[in-house]
Amino acid sequence: EVTLFWFRRDLRLEDNVGLYHALQSKFPVIPVFIFDDAILDSLPKNDARVGFIHDSLAKINAQLQENGSSLLIKKGKTQAVWHALIQEFHIKEVYCNKDYEPYAIARDLAIGTTLEANNTPFFSHKDQVIFEEKEITKADGLPYTVYTPYKNKWLEKYKINGGVTEFDATSWYGNFYKSNFDFLTLEQIGFEESSIKVKPHNLSKIANYHETRDFPAIDSTSYLSPHLRFGTVSIRKLVNWAVRKNDVFLSELIWREFFMQILFNFPKVMTQNFKSAYDGIQWLNNEADFKRWCTGTTGYPMVDAGMRQLNQTGYMHNRVRMVVASFLCKHLLIEWQWGEAYFAEKLLDYELSANVGNWQWAAGTGCDAAPYFRVFNPEIQLKKFDEKGIYIHKWIPEFNLGYGKPMVDHAMARDRAIATYKAGILKN
């Protein structure tokens, strides 16, 4: 008789709410991770994110081995894997942490039904956010669609709660099931090492975050994003720390939760404009233009440097993400969904809620978005945020040799964007 704890996007033992509760069940706990074919089948064999997940699981396995236990790794279609697990073990209870993406919600509902048919309770806990779903709402109970009042309510609730409790389960580690399961290699899962790696996160420069975060040449952001995506750090620990260190940094962590609750409450944003008034825009969607954007050959140094950073490292600085996204939607009149999909393929920190939220912000189609008539000038952005060209030179080594002509003239593109948006909005 055993309890199973199902790891998903919470790849750590420390301050893991679902695991904390699992370890206090009456039965020894088998931790399990499932490589889900429904997700893996669409990825290239050297996808760096799969490598990062595998590395993170290896760390967890090493910690478990110190406690005489080990991680059970499975690969397959989730439903089939659970049917097999039910045959293999006498499972009394299953625990996990909640995942709010539409695919995950449907998956968990299906697995919950399977487990229920086996008389096995399935408990899921809030772990990846401080406030979830409809915990932060307006007075009328409806979700916020504007960031600042959401943030104020979030902070108020955090203070009323007296911060957020962390869940230390170390004294329960004796309750892990004694085991020595085979640890599947990356090759056994059908993948290979990527040359692109997730950087360790770095909180050492956060004291000056509010002054330095917009300058891509300064290495001053936290690099937390993939770690938050896969749960190799705890959001509770981080927020309790950020509250004492830097308000602007804390605000960014609240943006993350803002977009998560938007996706949860308005799942259509995944593919459709949040503001349907923008549905009538006549996008150009030119394939050749899109290719130049993807390959970082637009002739605008800041756009090109950003896209090259993304292609080579799986990361792009936030300021530059804003510039390249605006450029795609406004200068090239390509719909945000194309850019969103390209980022989803390349970003190590790809997070559906944040990616869609920020892309719609840049396109002007989202909640609390930049107004459509605001068109970033990539040259001015460069002067403001990379005055000495340090970032540009890093990603465009040939820059000094005379750089190519911009693929579109800024003044023309700006006027065209405003006119096209205006016409699209009027049409609807």
Question: Binding-site residues for FAD, please?
Answer: 209, 221-225, 249, 252-259
Site string for ligand FAD, 355-384 (x = CB under 6 A): x--xx--x----------------------
Nearer to ligand FAD, 21 or 229 (CB): 229
Residues in the chain: 428
Query: Which of residues 145 and 225 has its CB atom nearest to ligand FAD in the complex?
Result: 225
129 touches ligand FAD by CB under 6 A: no
Q: Return d(Cα 362, Cα 249) in angstroms, integer.
A: 21
207 vs 419, which CB is nearer to ligand FAD? 207
- Residue in the structure block whose two tokens are 């800024």: 410
Closer Cβ to ligand FAD, 184 or 345, answer by number: 345
Instruction: Measure the CA–CA gap between 359 and 321, rounded to whole angstroms.
Output: 9
- DSSP code per residue over 201-235: P--TTGGGHHHHTT-TTS--S---HHHHHHTSS-H
Question: Within 86-115, which residues bind ligand FAD (CB under 6 A)?
Answer: none
Whichever of 4 and 269 has its CB closer to ligand FAD, that residue is 269
Q: Is 424 exposed, middle or buried (0-12, 13-18, 19+ CB in 10 A)?
A: middle
Structural contact between residues 70 and 179, judged by C-beta atoms closer than 8 angstroms: yes
Footprint on residues 247-306 left by ligand FAD (CB under 6 A): 252-253, 255-256, 259
Which element (helix H / strand E) includes 301?
helix 301-313
Nearer to ligand FAD, 152 or 180 (CB): 152
Q: With binding defined as CB under 6 A, does residue 308 bind ligand FAD?
A: no
Least distance (Å) from ligand FAD to the CB of residue 201?
7
The pattern of x and - marking residues 220 through 249 that bind ligand FAD according to CB under 6 A reads -xxxxx--x---------------------
Which tokens hold the place of 281? 């825009």
Determine the Cα–Cα distance for residues 258 and 254; give it in Å rounded to an integer. Answer: 6
Binding mask 313-352 for ligand FAD (x = CB under 6 A): -----x--xx--x-----------------x---x-xxx-
Q: How far is CA 39 from CA 35, 49, 180, 188, 197, in A?
A: 8, 12, 27, 16, 20
Neighbours of 373 (CB within 10 A): 12
Q: Compose the 202-221 pattern: x for residues touching ligand FAD by CB under 6 A, - for all others.
A: -----------x-------x
Which residues bind to ligand FAD, rule: CB under 6 A? 213, 221-225, 228, 252-253, 255-256, 259, 318, 321-322, 325, 343, 347, 349-351, 354-355, 358-359, 362
